[in-house]
Structure 1
Amino acid sequence: MKNMFEYTDRLNQPMEAFQHTAVPGNFPILPHWHYFIEIIYIKEGSVEATCDDAVYTMHPGDLIIFCPQKLHSVDLLYDTTAPSGYNLNKTFAQCHIFTEPRSPRPNLAHNAIYPISTAMPQIEETICYDVLKFDLNFLYANNRFKAQFSKTLAYAFEKHAENIFFSADMLKGFPASSLMAGCIQEIERQEYGYDVAVSSLISSLLTFFMRNWLRRDIKPEGKKPDSASGSQAFEEITQYIENHYNESLQVQDLAAHCNMSYSYFARLFRSTYNQSCKEYIEFIRIHKVLDLLRFTDLDLTYISQETGFADCSHLIRTFKKYTGTTPKQWRKENLNFF
């Protein structure tokens, strides 16, 4: 699955929203995976979507939510009479996108792909849909809610593939179209506070999904932490990290804080947040560094001390790992004046 990885800039673009209109050169969307949650909402035309081995028929007004790290694709629907929904009688191996494979365009800079073909297929039908992709970790929302949604989304898909599909009938009375359009508009304009506004719109979508799943008794099950207090502490652990990012944070200490063993905590954190705890701590610190570089003239030594790095060299190494440039160069290119 590695050669089907689509690179996403989780640090500088943790949220993306756009309207995709199919033309030769940008459709079909070939099988690929990434670390974002992705939602597509069909505006015009019909498509056949896949997620792992599951196949879905989508018509205008239908919506699907793809889990992080799940192989997914979007192709022409060759049988336009097929009803909306999860196709129980078809697998990915029977799809046109699998039986007539195309080569994706390489993204050599990131050892990844662009999930569009090097060939130019003919597209006769108008196909248009809204796309929303985001890293749940950087949503401005309650951390317990984010942890619960991440677990429930994964469980919903594992329990039954139909659970990530929402038909136009299921969405009646819910403003899915306007919420998606609002995300696109905010991200296109990028006016002050747009990331907070987009987070609010996304939270409305996720709350609808959660309520729908809970009404159908779709709740994660399995091994519980050693105590109720441990469960609550884990659900609040990202908030704890955000509150203490400028201190020395060790993963084993965070595990102990949650009344868990190091190995269990590490596995649970990765499965919940799609990255290691160490990576999450680095991401939070780098985000704080970006704010200080953009909005202050503080020197790097002071910034490294304020953001939890061991020293200035440690900050520069970590910063370059995530951004590909040095803090000094980034500040020069991204100064904001009010």
Structure 2
Amino acid sequence: MTVFKGDMFFKQEDFPFFIDRYTIKRGEYIPSHTHDFIELVFVVEGSAEHDMSGHTYQLAAGDVFVLEPNVYHSYRCAPEKDTVVYNVLFEAAFLQREMDVLQQLPSFVNFFYLLPFLRKSHSFVPYHPLLPVQKLQIQSHLAAIYEEFTERRDGYQLLIKTRLIECLVWLSRYHQENREAVKQPSVSERAWMDSIIHFVERHYHQPLTLQQLSQLSGMSVSSFTAKFKEAAGMSLLDYKHTVQIRHASTLLLSTDKKVLDIALETGFGDVSFFNRVFRKHTGLTPREYRSRPASQ
């Protein structure tokens, strides 16, 4: 199967972004493929079958969804007419600072991070059609981004970033509003907990809180605490520390970075606290762990 690499699309190292307005011809089949970057897909018109994660979905105008790296998917256009889509490709680092802020919005985390994971559930559709006015607004934003990317006039990079952030905020809002307005297939508490665990694994370096994650799950803090411990076998804080220490251990053995830098990179704002947590989990200080014989 085909694996698309970012350097096939991103021509500027400091601006890992690409957008295309692509037409899938009637009856055309796009074979299964994946990529090492994030892809946002918006269906402008037409319809097609979209296969991903072992499930087949019927796409229609106004559908929008996010594909994280390493997800295989394919398309088969309907025979009646062409299907037009916007493909927005970017590296996670492209909006790193902005993502840190956006992650404080439960609706964004739900749309951008939890939805892609939850598509593994057979009963869950990972995208929903936008209402007509919503579709027009997102289409307008993407058309403006496409024009800026194509013409590359002065300041186009800043305008593209600004428009893309607006798109992500609006899409997060629309997802929340539409989900509340229309009865959606239920997702089990275990599926939600698995998605939260997946989120913590990816964002261990962020200041995640019980309040934030319980709100995402639609649970009280006490209920979330109990369900998370049941699913993960430990509390949220202990699980987060376990993930942080695992990554810190890898960095200690595979790089020559300073202990302070590793502490900051793995989400510890205080090196003394990092040392205490590291010793609690490994029985060694970070320096002792790094200098121990390889056979131990």
TM-score, reference length from structure 2:
0.54
- Secondary structure of the corresponding residue to residue 146 of structure 2: helix
Corresponding residue for residue 33 of structure 2: 32
**Within 5 A, what are the aligned runs for 1:109-148?**
125-139=81-95, 141-145=97-101
Per-residue CA distance 1:72-124 (angstroms, 9 max, x = gap): 2221236xxxxxxxxxxxxxxxxxxxxxxxxxxxxxxxxxxxxxxxxxxxxx6
Deviation at 1:209, TM superposition (A): 3.2
Q: Answer yes or no: is the 8 Å Cα contact 1:4–1:33 preserved in 2.
A: yes
Is 2:140 the counterpart of 1:165? no
Is 2:58 the counterpart of 1:45? no
Q: How far apart, CA to CA, are the structure 2 residues paired with 1:74 and 1:147?
A: 30
Corresponding residue for residue 183 of structure 1: 145
Q: Give the aligned length.
A: 201
Q: Answer yes or no: is the 8 Å Cα contact 1:30–1:74 preserved in 2.
A: yes
Q: Answer yes or no: is the 8 Å Cα contact 2:39–2:89 preserved in 1.
A: yes
Task: Report the more deviating stretch, 45-54 or 182-191.
Answer: 45-54
Q: Answer yes or no: is the 8 Å Cα contact 1:136–1:146 preserved in 2.
A: no
Deviation at 1:65, TM superposition (A): 2.2
- Secondary structure of the corresponding residue to residue 38 of structure 1: strand
What's the RMSD between the two structures over aligned residues? Answer: 4.2
**Within 5 A, what are the aligned runs for 1:1-338?**
3-9=1-7, 10=10, 12=13, 14-23=16-25, 27-77=28-78, 125-139=81-95, 141-145=97-101, 153-160=112-119, 162=124, 164-169=126-131, 172=134, 175-212=137-174, 221-222=196-197, 231=207, 250=257, 252-257=259-264, 258-259=267-268
Q: How far apart, CA to CA, are the structure 2 residues paired with 1:154 and 1:192?
A: 33
Q: How far apart, CA to CA, are the structure 2 residues paired with 1:53 and 1:136?
A: 25
Q: How far apart, CA to CA, are the structure 2 residues paired with 1:59 and 1:152?
A: 19
Q: Answer yes or no: is the 8 Å Cα contact 2:44–2:62 preserved in 1.
A: yes
Per-residue CA distance 1:233-287 (angstroms, 9 max, x = gap): x9xxxxxxxxxxxxx992753342323979x99xxxxxxxxxxxxxxxxxxxxxx
**1:15 partner amino acid:** F
Deviation at 1:21, TM superposition (A): 1.8
Kindly tell me: are residues 39 and 171 of structure 1, through their superposed partners in 2, closer, same or farther at Cα, counting changes over 3 Å?
A: farther
- Secondary structure of the corresponding residue to residue 172 of structure 1: helix
Unaligned runs of 5+ in 1: 79-123, 235-247, 266-338
Kindly tell me: are residues 128 and 30 of structure 1, through their superposed partners in 2, closer, same or farther at Cα, counting changes over 3 Å?
A: same
**1:194 partner amino acid:** Y
Unaligned runs of 5+ in 2: 181-191, 209-239, 241-254, 279-296
